[in-house]
Structure formats: C-alpha cells, structure tokens
Amino acid sequence: MKILHTADWHIGKKLHKHSLQPDFDLFIDWLCDCIAENKVEVLLVSGDVFDLANPSSEARQQYFKALMKLKRLDCKIILTGGNHDSPTMLNAPQEVLRELDIHIIGGLPNELSECIIPVENKQNQTEVVIAALPYLRDADLRTASQGNSYEDRLEALRKGIQQTFLDAAELCETQYPGVPAIGMGHLFAAGAETSESERDIQIGNQAAFNALQFGDYFNYIALGHIHKPQRVNAATPTFYSGSPIPLSFSERSNKNRILLLNTETGWEPQSIEIPVFRELLKITGTLEKLQQKLLELQPRNGLASLIEIELKEANFDSNKIYELDQLVDNFKVEGYEIVKHRATFENKISGSGELYDQKQQLEDLQPLDVFQKLVDKQEEDEETRKELMSAFNEILEQVHQSKRG
C-alpha cells in the first residue's frame, strides 16, 4: 500500500499581503498527478490546513475544491488540525466528508478511539491503522493540579504529549493486533530546524518534545508544524514533510517535498521534490548594488516572483531612505513584484532612523517578540523572566483558541 505524507498547507496564507492562493492551486494540481502516477491509496495531512483559525470564504472554497479534486482519485484522505486551525471549523463537515472517505480530526476528541482509523486493502483486510492525532492544546495535556511553576508546566506538557501517543499506540495494538501502525502529530520536536513563519506552540516552544519518547510501537510517524522537511531523531522513522510551498522569505531555499511510503518495501519514505511554482528573491546591498541587481532582472512569465529588498549602508542617511522608497515605487519589470523593503545602518546617529526601522520591522515581529523585548528591558531575575514569558504564552494561546472557536 502506498501512503503519502504532507502537512502545513496554510490555505489562505498571504506573504506580505500577497495572496498565495494560485501557488496552492498549482500544488494541488501537481499533487493529484503525483497521486495518480504513484497509485497512492492514502493521503495524510498532518495539521495546519488553514493559515487562520477563521479563514476567509475564498480559503474555505479553495479547501473544499482541493478535497474534491483529490477525492476523484479514489484516495482515502486523513486530515488533522494544527495550531493554526479551528477544531470546530474543521470538524463542522466531518460527518458528510466521512461518507466520502475523508476523515477529519480537528481537535483531540473526548474519546481517543475516534482518532484510530483503519485502512483496508482491496481484499477488505486492514492493512495499516492510522493514529490521527491533531495538535494537542495545553488544555488537552495538563490540569491545574499538575503544578504551577514554570518547569512544572513544561514537564506536564511533555508528559501529556508522551502519554497521548502511548495511549493511541495501546489502542491500535488492542483493536488491531499485529497490524502496522502510523502515528500523526502536529508538534515541535526537540532539535527540529525552524523558520520565521511557524507560530510558537506550547509555552513558546519551550516544551520541545523529545521524539524518542514516542516509543517504538509505530512503524512511521508523520509530523506537521515545522515547514522545513527533515528527519527527527526517534526510535522509528519520524519525519516532518514540511510545507508544500515557501511561506516566508526565510523558507525560499527550502527544497519543498512530499514523502511517499510503500508498506511493501519498508517504512523509510521516498522523498519527492515539489516543483517551484513561484520564486522568492532577497536582494541586499548598498543603494548602488540594489539598483544594479534590479536592472539585471529580465521579464518572465508565470507567477510573479516576490522580492524582499534590504538596503545596507554604513552610516545613516535620510536621503538614502528616500531614494530606496523611490527605487521601489518606480520598479516595474514584468513577472516581479517587490513586497517588502527595509533599510539598516551599521552606524546609527542616536535617535535618527529608529522610527523608520520601527515602521519597517514591526510587521515582521510576532507578539511574543514584542513582549520579549519589553521583558528584556526590565531588571528582573531569570526565574521571573521565565514566569512572565510563560504567563504571556498562556494568554496568547487563550487568544488563539478563542479565535478558533
């Protein structure tokens, strides 16, 4: 049986206000061809289906169109919620989609057994069982009685993740003894290489989970959350498939891919590289170098390449800032679009240019970054700083959960 692992679709994502909707459409078309060519029977999507907990009507429409395209291939689809997703929103059409052999686990259900999904072969025999675990929220993993110190909360989260996977493994073994099992998860594994577009989870990623604690029951573990495809150090083959398209300029050099399993040949996945549908360019240098590099760009067809520009000069010069703005405003080359520009100066005159920097860089900061800068300015001991960051993360998580509904 052939099983395909992908994750972190982030439908509805905008990169500096530029919609990535056409990028995702091209990916789905390519994915359908790949599934048909490789005769894939099961598609696993490990969380962060949407970019926002309350996606736009256009994003929802794109999601259902993608599912219908995939369903025409007679492929079983198992999809779990991530930290960006609203469990309520994902689960709303759950019963209808199940009739189409599309299984949605938006959030951790009251009965863990609902996450255990058997997959039958053409002889109607259960060939593999999937433990489709979604993103595990703090409320799913710990209670107030499990300690109130910073370290207590971290340890409670780690133990909660471990116990949930162990419980799922036990259910698989009890209900389907001797049948190979695959675990799905959406979490931050210790040692994973991150990018700037992943939202911190579980106390700002401080509760990083040691993947060795998954145990050795599952034959393969299909992870989501980290956007760069990579293997995780664990007792069994454990992989992040990564996102199918770059979601930030820090991901522009990622080799986006999907992972294909063939249960007849083993549990090491075949890595299939996804074509580059849109190029992301970062251009840095002095004003003269920026002008030269932009002049070298040749008109091109297809999706417009998005450009991030950073002016780097030794000394602050307000005229250089004005000229940079003019350069961006006057840039017109077919097939390219500048979506972000900023200026940095090695030697600043105290106070000058700071407002410009704040204006240019505030959109790059996450709420946690802003609060971290505030905490860093306070004269507090290390333990107090940790407690403040922990409390802020809990508030932030509650805000995200209230948006998810």
Helix (H, G, I), strand (E, B) or coil at 289: helix
My answer on whether 306 and 239 are in the same domain is no
- Tens of pLDDT, residue by residue over 149-181, are 667 777 888 889 999 999 999 999 999 999 999
Q: For the chain, percent helix, then strand, then coil, each to nearest 5?
A: 40, 25, 40
Would residue 295 count as lying in a domain?
A: yes
Any domain includes 111: yes
Does residue 382 sit within a domain? no
Instruction: Provide the β-strand partners of residue 315.
Output: 347
The reply to whether 404 falls in a domain is no
**Domains: count for the chain:** 2
Instruction: Give the end-to-end CA distance of the chain in Å, rounded to a whole number.
Output: 37
Burial, 177: exposed, middle or buried (Cβ in 10 Å; 0-12, 13-18, 19+)? exposed
- The one-letter code for the residue type at 119 is V
Q: Are 227 and 207 members of one domain?
A: yes
Decide which of 273, 298, 328 is a domain's last residue: 273
Residues 238 and 291 in one domain: no
pLDDT in tens, 360-374: 455 556 677 677 777
Backbone dihedral region of 49: left (phi > 0), alpha (psi from -120 to 50 degrees) or beta? alpha
The DSSP element (H or E) to which 64 belongs, if any, is helix 57-71
Among the candidates 273, 304, 325, a domain finishes at 273
Category of 361 on φ-ψ map: left (φ > 0), alpha (ψ -120 to 50) or beta: alpha
Rounded Cα gap, residues 156 and 159, in angstroms: 5
Mean pLDDT within 177-194:
91
202 and 300 share one domain: no
Distance between CA atoms of residues 184 and 49, nearest Å: 14
- Same domain (yes/no): 304, 336: yes
What is the side-by-side order of every strand in the sheet holding 102-105?
102-105, 76-80, 42-46, 2-6, 257-262, 270-273
Residues 231 and 257: beta-carbon distance below 8 Å: no
For residues 253 and 122, membership in a common domain is answered with yes
Residue type, 71: K
What is the Cα–Cα distance from 398 to 307, expressed in whole angstroms? Answer: 35
Q: How many residues does this entry show for the chain?
A: 405
Which of 253, 273, 293 is the endpoint of a domain?
273
Q: Quick one: 305 and 214 in the same domain?
A: no
Give which of 253, 257, 261, 228 is closest to 244, Cα–Cα. 257
Confirm whether 38 is domain-assigned.
yes
Tell whether 385 is covered by a domain.
no
In this structure, what CATH number is given to the domain that contains residue 69?
3.60.21.10
Residue 42 has pLDDT above 70, yes or no: yes
pLDDT at 392: 76
* Whether residue 188 is found in the same domain as residue 307: no
**Locate tokens 């860089």: which residue?**
361
For 184, left (φ over 0), alpha (ψ -120 to 50), or beta? Answer: beta
Same domain, 246 and 267: yes
Max Cα distance, the chain (Å): 75
Q: Which helix (H) or strand (E) holds 22?
A: helix 21-38
Q: Are 130 and 182 in contact (CB under 8 A)?
A: yes
Does residue 394 lie in a domain region?
Answer: no
* Mean pLDDT confidence for 212-216: 92
303/300 Cα distance (integer angstroms): 9
Average pLDDT, the chain: 88
Inside any domain, residue 129:
yes
Looking at the structure, tell me whether residues 324 and 296 fall in a common domain: yes
Q: How confident is the model at residue 360, as a pLDDT? A: 46
Looking at residue 356, what is its pLDDT? 47
Domain range enclosing 360: 280-364
pTM: 0.85
- pLDDT of 105 higher than 90: yes
Assess whether 172 and 285 both reside in one domain: no
In a 10 Å sphere around its CB, with 0-12 CB exposed, 13-18 middle and 19+ buried, how is residue 305 labelled? middle
127 and 160 both lie in a single domain:
yes
pLDDT at 200 (0 to 100): 58
